[in-house]
Chain A
Amino acid sequence: MSKRIFINIVPGKTFLHKLSGKTKVGLFIVCIVYTIMSFDLRLLAPLMFLSLIAIVSLKPDWKVIIVLFIAIFLMNFFNIFLYWVVKPDIGSEWTGGTSTILYSFSSYYFVSLETLWYLLVRLFKMLTSFTVSMAFILSITPSELASGLHGLGVPYKICTVVSLAFRYIPDISRDYENIKVSMQARGVEMDLRKTPILKRLKQTIYILFPLIITSFDRIGNIANALDLRGYGLKKDRTYYAEVEPTLMDKLFRWSTLALFLFCLAWIVSRNIWEPATKMWFPFEV
């Protein structure tokens, strides 16, 4: 199961795996903020480069990742293509109003340097958020995620929901498979080629109904199991998965803080103090 969803449940052995949950969650949140705020290749390119190095260092199963990467790339490429279709001069608004036309199909449809640049930066932004997320997902286990979130001040009951979900999703999907098979044997046709999509959707209820009943039984038992071991007893709770911070953790946490301050400064200066109307454009005339 864990193979199929490429999430680590057992902590890995590489450098990034060994960082504590809190360090990883904190860094991830700041990196995402950083990606969202920047529409500037000078900021995006280094982060993308670093997150690619991080992915390589995590020694992942490349097969899955490359497939995913290609899918994300194509989707976003299509997305920016649509941007161009709708508004071929979109880049000019952001680079200072000029249009350096490189090729023109008609008076409306043309390819300008400014638009190309704008779309390139947009693509970069999307891909960076993908590589950052990927590096994060590959480096963390669900337990570390829960403990890390708690370390950053999220109430532990919410963190438990996260880790319980990861714990029971494979069980529920196994039940789902079992029920599906028994329904098929009773004559519910689920072959993709033979059944129209609407009918298949309607038939999903034949699986969901027993699945919900079985899951409810389980939820009651889980709730008792939690109560019997004193869950919810105290205001705070510790985590077995939260390893003691090492020197590396401290280094990373300080870097995270520095990056966070930089983000803050950037947001204040560029978005609040004096909202920027232009993006960085190296070919400006």
Chain B
Amino acid sequence: MKNPVIEFHDFGFRYASQSEPTLHGINLTIYEGEKVLILGPSGSGKSTLANCINGLIPFSFKGESTGEVKVAGMDTRHAGIFSLSKHVGTVLQDSDAQFVALSVGEDIAFALENQAVKRSMMIPQVIAAASIVGMQDFLNHVPYALSGGQKQKVSLAGVLHEHVDIVLFDEPLASLDPKAGMHAVELIDDIHAQGKTVVIIEHRLEDVLHREVDRILVMDEGRIVFDGDADTLLCGKLLPEIGIREPLFITQMHHAGCVLHADDHPSSVTRFNLDPYRASLLNFIQTEIQPKAHYPGEVLIEATNVRFSYDTQEAIKNISFQVRKGEKIAFIGKNGAGKSTMAKLLCGIVRPDHGNITFQKTDLKSWSIREIGEKIGFVMQNPNQMLVKNIIKDEVAFALTLRNLPQQEIDERVQHALTVCGLWPMRNWPVSAVSYGQRKRITVAAMLALDTEVLILDEPTAGQDYRHYTEIMDFLDDLNRQTGITIIFITHDMHLAIEYTDRAIVFADGEKIADDLVVEVLSDNEIIQKANLKQTSLYTLAMRLGLPPETLVDHFIGHEREVKTHE
């Protein structure tokens, strides 16, 4: 029998600032060398649970607890965060905040510095830790020159010291693109293979399941509602109920009416025994799907041979494309591929070095940023970076007031925008009182009030769980249907592109490598490889069934659409 390293007994916790407990009656034992995934939607208490393991509770977050927690044999209430940090290494979600030093080597050394380890003893340990994560050649690099994935590797190396035997990952995939996320999952698996106990807090189930986990704990409303293996979990109905997204291929199986059995290993798309289900899947793709309604509106935006460089680095290499009225387009590509730069060019934040961009045949060159802003609205990833007023309706009226419109017109436009966004009843609420998703709506409403014809959204769902993701995306989808507004999504989320867009423009190294229907783009392995993106599990499923991937993807989208219209 293995040693228990983390033990919760009838544990409950209430934050000092809240009236209701966040965790109730947690009983949980994690054994040495296990790899455990703690799954749950936002607000389910999974991060609180993690903070109880690493000692941030009760060290930084005060509150009232009941029952007991033992980590590495110590009671966390008495052991203190410092003794715990020698046994538990935590990799935070925000790898930018965790990178506190000015170079890779220095950051990995940070914990050793705090223990006043002599420099001569520190250097070999830093090199050893850096080698585990493959960053040994980057010791002199500054944080600004690293990608999100690299920063996370440094964070991991920074907690891998000799005594650390439990590694806790708090939403490790939240700020990574899919390919980097895949590498992160592989790296976590390597750490586990070296004998560490690994606890992963995540809501992106499919990405974590890229490598096997020993056990999954599902949390909802402060309780553990499932404790078992991945296969059993996927056969049940729990995930959709609590708002966790199932792997895409599992959803597909459910669409096809398959009843899954744990013995067939549904947790891995590559090892899954498909034989019992083949017939119903083949049957499923024979069904007729309604062809997607397509309305080719007038051309709104046209980019012709656009080139742009930052200093000496060419960010956009000779790109041309059109955007038609009412379209939903995804700009996809990994971080740094040029998709955000292209969006900045469309908004006039930066201007092309060569070529031109027109809006309804007028060259954008002749407009100021402010004038372009009345046609093309840009919604930043983090709504907190856009909100300046205290009250919701003032926020939406902000840009109109700056333009000195008559008060009556401002009121009308604000009312219209807030109504469309479903915020009218909350118009007098303070911005700080509403949720993240609602703040996102406020930023969208602010753009609508300006009568923008195109919305560009930068990673609209980054860091959101499935419930909020669906909420934001369905809202935008309805908006597009009701008002005919054109929407461009900047994303690396293939699921988003599949479900909510018509057309995808794929960027890689500043070039446009594809511009086609989403189905076509995602079924083309060459494009996905070239863009350094991650293939969806639907593709893998199609390959294993020996079917053309576009047929499967097409039926998937068709079915989703039907389900949605029936709701």
Contacts and interface: CB of A to CB of B under 8 A. Distances in A.
Contacts of B126: 240
Interface stretch (A26-34, A49-57, A177-185): A177-185
Contacts of A244: 119-120
Given A191-B368, A228-B81, 13 more contacts: A10-B103, A10-B142, A167-B101, A183-B388, A184-B373, A185-B377, A188-B370, A225-B100, A230-B85, A231-B110, A240-B119, A241-B106, A244-B119
Q: Which 6 A-B pairs have the closest CB atoms?
A: A221-B97, A240-B109, A185-B373, A229-B111, A186-B399, A230-B114
Contacts of A183: 388
A234 B385 contact: no
B140 interface: yes
B446 interface: yes
Contacts of A191: 368
A187 B370 contact: yes
Contact of A238 (B86, B117, B399): B117
B116 interface: yes
B402 A143 contact: no
Contacts of B386: 179, 182, 186, 210
Interface string A222-265: 11111111111110111111111000000000000000000000
A221 B94 contact: yes
B92 A221 contact: yes
Interface in A191-213: 191, 205-206, 209-211, 213
A181 B349 contact: yes
Contacts of A188: 370, 402
Residues of A in contact with B, size category: 35 or more
A199 to B, nearest CB: 11
A74 interface: no
Contacts of B344: 181
Given A167-B143, A223-B60, A233-B115, A187 B402 contact: yes
A188 B56 CA distance: 41
A230 B115 contact: yes
B370 A227 contact: no
Interface of A: 1-2, 9-11, 141-143, 163-164, 166-167, 170-171, 175, 178-179, 181-189, 191, 205-206, 209-211, 213-214, 217-218, 221-234, 236-244
B378 interface: yes
The winner among B116, B388, B399, B402 for most chain A CB atoms within 10 A is: B388
Nearest to B98: A225
Contacts of B387: 210, 213
Interface residues of B, number: 69
Contacts of B141: 10
Interface SS of chain A: helix
A241 B106 CA distance: 7
Contacts of B123: 240
B109 to A, nearest CB: 4
Contact of A187 (B82, B347, B403): B403
Contact of A240 (B86, B106, B380, B446): B106
Contact of A228 (B54, B102, B113, B378): B54
B102 A9 contact: yes
B158 interface: yes
Nearest to B81: A227
A25 to B, nearest CB: 16
A161 to B, nearest CB: 12
B90 interface: yes
Interface in B329-354: 344, 347-349
Contacts of A2: 142, 144
